Amino acid sequence: MSERLGRDALCELFTLGNPDLLRNPTTALFCSARCPGDRLLSAYDQAARWRDTGRCVIGGFHAPVEKACLRILLRGRQPIIVCPARGLPQRLAPELRAAFDAGRVLVLTPFAGAVDRVTAELADRRNEVVAALADEVWFAHITPGGRMARLAERVRQWTSP
C-alpha cells in the first residue's frame, strides 16, 4: 500500500473480524452512484462470477450498485472485505452477520472509532486505501468528471490491472 500511496499511506488500519483475509488476492469493486442499466447487469454478473470462483472482493459497498453486489457476494463462500468511510461500527450490519460469524467478512477502515459520519472526503480517502490494498481494481461504471473518474486516474498512475 505504501508504494502506491507514498507519503499519504496510513500508519494504522482498524479491523473487526478475520485479518487473515487480507492475505487473499483481492479485487476492489467501485461504481459511481449513478449507473446506467446496462452497467448494472454487467456488475451483477461480475459479482456472481467472483462469488462462484471464490474471489475475495474489497470495497466500501456504499453506492447502490456496490450494495447490490455485496448482497450477491454474501450468498457465496468467498471472503469479503468491507471498508466503511468511518470508524469501525458499534454493531455489525445484520446482512453481514452470518458471513462474519463464518470468518468470511473483515471490516477494515483507515479511520479511528471517533469518526462516525461519512463525508465525501472520507469516502475518497477510503476508496484510495481500498484501491491501494487490492491486487486488481474493477470499476462497474465511472461517471465522467466525477469522483470515480479521479480515482481511476490515480489507479492508472499506479499501473494496477
pLDDT on residue 59: 97
Fold type of domain 13-158: Rossmann fold (3.40.50)
pTM here is: 0.89
For each of the chain's 161 residues, which pLDDT tens digit applies?
445 455 555 558 999 999 999 999 999 999 998 887 888 899 999 999 999 999 999 999 999 999 999 999 999 999 999 999 999 998 999 999 999 999 999 999 999 877 778 899 999 999 999 999 999 999 999 999 999 999 999 999 876 55
Answer yes or no: are the C-beta atoms of 130 and 83 closer than 8 Å. yes
Structural domain spans, the chain: 13-158
- Per-residue confidence (pLDDT) for residue 10, from 0 to 100: 55
**What confidence score (pLDDT) does residue 4 get?**
47
Please give the full DSSP string across the chain, using - where no structure is assigned.
Answer: -HHHHGGG--S--EEEE-GGGGGS-EEEEE--SS--HHHHHHHHHHHHHHHHHT-EEEE---SHHHHHHHHHHHTSSS-EEE--SSSPPSS--GGGHHHHHTT-EEEEESS-TT--S--HHHHHHHHHHHHHH-SEEEES---TTSHHHHHHHHHHHHT--
